[in-house]
Structure 1
Amino acid sequence: MTAETLKNKFEIKELELNSLLEITQAINNNLAEASLYKIYNFILRANHNIKKLALFVLDDQWECKAFHSTAHDYGKIELDEKFLSVKEIEYLENEDPSLPFSEFDILIPIVHKNKTLAFVFTDGMKGEDGQPNEDFTFLQALSNIILVAIENKKLARKELKQEALRREMEIASNVQKYLFPENLPYGRGLKVVASYLPHHTVGGDYYDYIPINRNQFLICIADVSGKGIPAAILMSNFQASLRTLVRQTPNITAIVEELNYLILENAKGENFITFFGAIYDHSLKTMVYVNAGHNPPILMDKKKGTILLDQGTTILGSFKTLPFLNEGFLTDLDDFLFFLYTDGLTETLNEHGEEFGVDRLKKLLEKEKDGELKDLHQHVMSDLDEFRGKNAYSDDITLLSCNISV
């Protein structure tokens, strides 16, 4: 080997080393992925032994991030699925030169922790013996360094996103906990019991019991569309507004109209709330209620039988003025069971795709109506578990029961 040849080899190795140092410094400086791909492409363009190259990287899908000196525009070409199973360096058979990928003679998969991150297609890397030349090692090293660094960037972003989501859900969960009343009455003449089963960390259900005066109380249930912090904040505003309005007026119609206006103002039509609210008067033995697009609660009265409370209006937060609004009014109520729930209960599916349904719920309540409310909820959930079989719950479930007795 002549001195001139040694000098050339030394200069090439020095250039390669400087290139590796340059890309390492760029990674340490936290350059954007697009910038790293540009540097990668620029370095390889300067290597005259690499005649052409295309780099395909897996993001949400396979995309060509860098290519040069090719006959095809690989930025507009999808990666052929036949290459996806390649795990080791593969020598490509030249096919019809008009076809994409036929212009390359070597395929290099870039694998990290058993995951294929990228494919490098190249030409001009074979020596006279048909084996990869010395520049091949440099190409492998450079590709591995930059692609592992980019993969680490993706993982870091994913972890940050997951942590932000976890924190958001934690905040929303804490907000929601404050919505529910701390204590519900459970004494002679009046018993109220609630059960809440969220489908995720944060659900969209809300229930409340609000004493108005010595004779009256409001009981309600609601379900907000959407999840996470926006839904939790909307429901928090809803609860605060409802409690304020109840102190100002016992008129359920006026309360519902104002709630509709406030939800529309706060949510801008992006979310809505189904709501049922009822005011019971112990002295008059009356109940006035409005059902705003919610599942009709079931009232079981010893004198009147079973009644579905469906009078009211449509969902709240979708119309500036509610298209209709009717109050339901019941009299002579002094010994009854009142059962409220969200649609997660009746819309639970079994393994045959059948819904639990209202009729099945009514039969269960008829059987259990004379028992303790605390036991009633356990029996409802037990029957629901048996009904659904191996099917998972698909929504939040809230149960709210009220028993008035003489």
Structure 2
Amino acid sequence: MKETSLDIKDLQLNALLEVTQAVNNNLPEDDLLKIYKFTLLADLKINKLALYTQQGGEWVCRVNFGTKEDLFGTGLPDEYKELKNSLGIIETSFNEFDSVFPVYHKSKLLSVVFIQSETKLGVQNRFLNALTNIILVAIENKRLARQQMEQEAYRRELEIAKKVQNFLFPKELPKIERLQIEAFYLPHHDVGGDYYDYIQIDENRFLACIADVSGKGVPAALLMSNFQASLRALVRQTKDLKEIVTELNHTTFVSGNAENFITFFAGIYDFKTKNLEYINCGHNEIILKNGNDVVLLNDGTTVLGMFDPLPFIETKQISGLEEFFIFAYTDGLTETFNENDEDFGFDRLLHIIKQDCPKDLSDLHDQILDALNEFKGDRTYHDDITMLSCLIQNK
């Protein structure tokens, strides 16, 4: 008996050594579980086992052998999801097993193990618990390390996207007597999919635009950065809005794999001819206020990136514009909801814009934001919000 006891202890020590080396060698989870399975079969004479762990919020069977029923597709009964720590091995009537024990790491239940052995385990309980704990804690540490690496990678990706997005927006906007432009941008996440721009074409002409990409976060910001680079390159080559939009649509179609789209509005104003040419590509209604007249700039085409070629496209020209005001925005503004699930809507925005022509565009933006905050109450914003205002005084 004494030799048998020593032999068992020797087997157990060798098993623990093998498992420890496997953990130190950073073997994959599946390899660790295979070592665990064969150690129990060979050293403890366990003929039936099922090991359950949590994956994606669900309890799933990771190791199963010896049972008539395949348990890999069988969920863990609810009564075993609340097993308390330090219970040790207890009796059970689940399936074909006679014993069950929980595996904890600190205060977290890592695993529930069902077993049936040829003999009573007795003093080998401690070895079974120790072996299971080593394996499961190693797997949990791997999961946490992987999660930390993923979070770190996402954080670095986010930092890059934020830097990229900062380059999207113009560093300075004109604030001179004949042209004032003011912009406001509030991303819903750290990075968003809204974009606005001002491009001086020559001494008499400038282009102002606003855009909104479907989706949020890093992918949206990167797609929009590609869009901005394409726009600026195209404006250097041509001043034809139809040609610019056609090329932008093709670029977005290819970059977004026809899965993402961009709404876009662009206008070119000529101080010499007092002519505004614009195109609206599925964007919100852009408001032009000329004296007491309010015009909605809706003509153009559909969203960019969904169809190539575009099914239709047209630009619109408005002549004789000397002193006027344009207000552009993204749908995060009008689609802000209050506590009664009502949206802020276009009519409320238009009511503010229809008041006296603003002398200070930043004051106008503050007025709109105050109305928006009062309207939404305790509700949070659920989308990016961008406003772009242009005041032209071409006397």
TM-score by length of 2: 0.94
TM-fit CA distance, 1:271: 2.1
Instruction: Confirm whether residue 218 of structure 1 aligns to residue 214 of structure 2.
Output: no
Instruction: Confirm whether residue 138 of structure 1 aligns to residue 127 of structure 2.
Output: yes
Number of the residue aligned with 2:33: 37
TM-fit CA distance, 1:229: 4.5
Name the count of aligned residue pairs.
391
8 Å contact kept, 1:168–1:228? no
Match for residue 332 of structure 1 among 278, 301, 320: 320
Number of the residue aligned with 2:339: 351
* Partner AA of 1:110 in structure 2: V
8 Å contact kept, 2:50–2:63? yes
TM-fit CA distance, 1:65: 1.5
TM-fit CA distance, 1:44: 0.3
Number of the residue aligned with 1:69: 66
Quote the Cα distance in structure 2 between the aligned partners of 1:327 and 1:108: 73
What pairs up with 1:302-381 in 2 under 5 angstroms? Answer: 302-303=291-292, 305-367=293-355, 369-381=357-369
TM-fit CA distance, 1:390: 1.4
Structure 2, unaligned stretches of length 5 or more? none
Query: Residue 367 of structure 1: SS of its match in structure 2?
Result: coil
Number of the residue aligned with 1:98: none
Q: 1:53 to 1:237 in 2, by over 3 A?
A: closer
Per-residue CA shift, 1:113-165, capped at 9, x if unaligned?
Answer: 211110011234885xxxx6111111100011110000000000001111111
* Partner AA of 2:66 in structure 1: S
Instruction: Confirm whether residue 265 of structure 1 aligns to residue 254 of structure 2.
Output: yes
% same residue: 50
Query: Residue 75 of structure 1: SS of its match in structure 2?
Result: coil
TM-fit CA distance, 1:49: 4.8
8 Å contact kept, 1:209–1:220? yes
Query: Residue 275 of structure 1: SS of its match in structure 2?
Result: strand
Per-residue CA shift, 1:149-200, capped at 9, x if unaligned?
Answer: 0000000000111111111111111111101110100121210001111111
What's the C-alpha RMSD, in Å, of the aligned pairs?
Answer: 1.8
The farther-off stretch of 241-250 and 333-342 is: 241-250
8 Å contact kept, 1:291–1:312? yes
Q: 1:67 to 1:233 in 2, by over 3 A?
A: closer
TM-score by length of 1: 0.92
Structure 1, unaligned stretches of length 5 or more? 95-100
What pairs up with 1:148-167 in 2 under 5 angstroms? Answer: 148-167=137-156
Q: 1:78 to 1:368 in 2, by over 3 A?
A: farther
Q: 1:314 to 1:118 in 2, by over 3 A?
A: same
* Partner AA of 1:311 in structure 2: D
* Partner AA of 1:349 in structure 2: F
8 Å contact kept, 2:47–2:116? yes
TM-fit CA distance, 1:66: 1.4
The farther-off stretch of 144-153 and 210-219 is: 210-219
The farther-off stretch of 361-370 and 388-397 is: 361-370
TM-fit CA distance, 1:261: 2.0
8 Å contact kept, 1:45–1:68? no
Query: Residue 337 of structure 1: SS of its match in structure 2?
Result: strand
What pairs up with 1:2-401 in 2 under 5 angstroms? Answer: 5-60=1-56, 61-88=58-85, 89=87, 91-94=90-93, 101-124=94-117, 127=120, 133-303=122-292, 305-367=293-355, 369-401=357-389
Quote the Cα distance in structure 1 between the aligned partners of 2:257 and 2:12: 59
